[in-house]
Amino acid sequence: MNHKANWKHQYLRTGQLTAVYPVTGEPFVGRVSRVRKNKYGRISYEVGGRMVMAEELFPSEQQQKLKIPYTANL
């Protein structure tokens, strides 16, 4: 994974904009449409139609961060 993240901690809520840094593919900005918790307590998010793990919410070392546009109607 990109770096160490607490995969039992809920970092985002439904409706928030976030940057996603997937292991394979290009980083993107999307809105969280669903927060899921499996039977082991691991939190995952549905962002832009994709299931994303907590480790994919943060850039790896030396990776450029994406800019998230400001929206007043969260």
Read off the pLDDT of residues 5-62 as tens digits, 9 standing for 90 and up.
888 899 999 999 999 999 888 999 999 999 999 999 999 999 999 999 988 998 888 8
Q: Compare 71 and 74 and report the one with higher pLDDT.
A: 71
Structural domains of the chain sorted by starting position, each given as residue range(s) with its CATH number in brackets: 1-59 (2.30.30)
The total of other beta-carbon atoms located within 10 Å of residue 55's CB is 17
pLDDT for res 4? 72
**End-to-end CA, the chain:** 29
Q: pLDDT-derived band of residue 72, with 50, 70 and 90 as boundaries?
A: low
CA distance 70 to 63: 22
